Amino acid sequence: MRLDPQPLGSRLKSSATNSFTQYRRPGIAGRYRLMTAFFNGFLPSLLEEGNMMTRILSALILVTTAALTACAETPSMPTSTPRLNSADESTIRAMVDAFGRRLQNVSLLAPDAAEQIRLQYLQYVSPALLASWMSDPRKAPGRLVSSPWPDHIEIYSLAMETPDRCVITGSVIELTSVEAVNGGAAAKIPVRIVAQQLQGSWLITDYAPQP
């Protein structure tokens, strides 16, 4: 058998460089072409020349290189953010607004605070959140002192996380008798609210004042 005077390693390096450059393309098709070129081009040449140990080591190196190249070119999958349709947006806004106007009706320090929470918030929050607030009224939103009091929730933004989960950011607007007459706010408490569609209705599943 006549051997090419050019060293085996040099010819393999040149062949691999040319083929990787030619076949390195993004996506599954590019990886398929790369692996096909390897098995059709590089591997047969290794089996024809050199001693057994050289052939084995060279084959392992080229297999590893081809595998790493294929993995490095895994295409990123585009992600899409669910869009909030106008009907759901109107429903969520109305629900949060109505809930916010109930806050002043719940006196968190009253002996019957848990019952007030149930009566005022039942139709706006999930059963799990309602039960949590009733078991510990200090975790619930409501009125702590006679003045200022929470008057309503001012909504800043709504963002869909999933088709049935919406995050609302806003502030609880607190008033005193001065602001109630002249307008404005005595305080604004930032709040993050999560609403989810449960059994066909949008309900608040998380409510967290922000720093």
Residue 8: what pLDDT? Answer: 47
Mean pLDDT, the chain, integer: 80
> Span 144-168, mean pLDDT?
96
Confidence of residue 12 (pLDDT cuts 50, 70, 90): very low
Pair 204, 195: CB distance under 8 Å: yes
Residue 81: what pLDDT? Answer: 75
Q: How many CA atoms lie within 13 A of 184 on its CB side?
A: 9
**pLDDT of 29 higher than 70:** no
Pair 50, 59: CB distance under 8 Å: no
Query: Helix or strand or coil: residue 207?
Result: strand
**pLDDT of 22 higher than 70:** no
Q: Where are the domains of the chain?
A: 8-72, 86-209
> What is the chain's length?
211
State which CATH number among 3.10.450.100, 3.40.50.720, 2.170.120.12, 3.30.1490.20 fits the domain covering 86-209.
3.10.450.100
* Residue 14 Cα distances to 7, 11, 17, 22, 58, angstroms: 11, 5, 5, 12, 14
> Span 194-202, mean pLDDT?
96
**pLDDT of 144 higher than 80:** yes
pTM for the model stands at 0.64
Regarding predicted confidence, which is higher, 142 or 82? 142
Pair 149, 172: CB distance under 8 Å: no
Phi and psi at residue 186, to the nearest 5°: -75, -30
